[in-house]
Structure 1
């Protein structure tokens, strides 16, 4: 089943969520990004699991979200596109110079995805900040390096998405997933 689970990763503001939205519009199953939703929820309730308040708690909530997304992914024959995955939590912890707890490492080993992970590279020309995205373009580049490094360390093959229109990225992605 995990061979159907296709991860899109990268730094913030690189167009990956826009591509996932386009995949959904084309009829493909998808997951929602953990970080943005957690920030929205925690901000709404005055919670402390925010990247600028409690990085470790934020990481734990992202891990729980990604594990649930993995378990709740639709069954069937077609691909399911993940807006980040379990290994992104490790990338986040590394970015923030936090230790990776053994249970997070174990989760990355047990909850697997398609061997090819698609990475949206930093793209300053489209980068914008918003209520949930407060990182600088430089931090977005460091995030890209941290998450792609983590995926490589866990044995995934990284495929860099082209800096192109959403339609061109869609065609590139669909042409390179190679489901078995």
Structure 2
């Protein structure tokens, strides 16, 4: 199944994806926020272990369940929908964390397709900030970017690097390249 109107934003943490997603939502575009932060918040609040610093595999599997639900619930009216990460991100995460990549994850990445053009946000040290959910250091953010680039390339997506610019400039770049 192909979601031609589903545009994925990927890259390492702290590169500005969420800021651009938020600005696009303010312009009235449908957006799908990243599930990882929500899962972390829920797990911390409930004392769960599906956390990237506790049980990486369970965390990945929870993100996969959320990504599948997000993919299925995406509006089909033809208007662009912007995803803060997609299913191939979970392959990149698995490789980055030395986790086995389940065959079902590979199957989903191959058959549940987004628009062939994916917007990748390069690491940007000047804006990178950690917080209570984002505990990675900048070097890990760079390694994550590399893993996402490899995962999306392996599944035949065209990667379009979002330039370093203001949020307004980045939004304009995305909209000009749909």
Give the TM-score, by structure 2 length: 0.98
Structure-1 residue corresponding to 2:166: 165
- Alpha-carbon deviations, 1:66-122, whole Å to 9, x = none? 000000112212010000000000000000011111010011012110000000100
Structure-2 residue corresponding to 1:59: 60
SS at the partner of 2:113? coil
2:18 corresponds to 1:17? yes
Aligned residue pair count = 177
SS at the partner of 2:173? helix
**Whole-Å Cα distance in 1 between the matches of residues 78 and 50 of structure 2?**
36
**Whole-Å Cα distance in 1 between the matches of residues 84 and 60 of structure 2?**
16
**CA-based RMSD:** 0.7
Structure-1 residue corresponding to 2:45: 44
Give the TM-score, by structure 1 length: 0.97
**Unaligned residue ranges in structure 1 (runs of 5+):** none
Runs of 4+ in 1 over 3 A off after TM superposition: none
2:23 corresponds to 1:32? no
Structure-1 residue corresponding to 2:155: 154
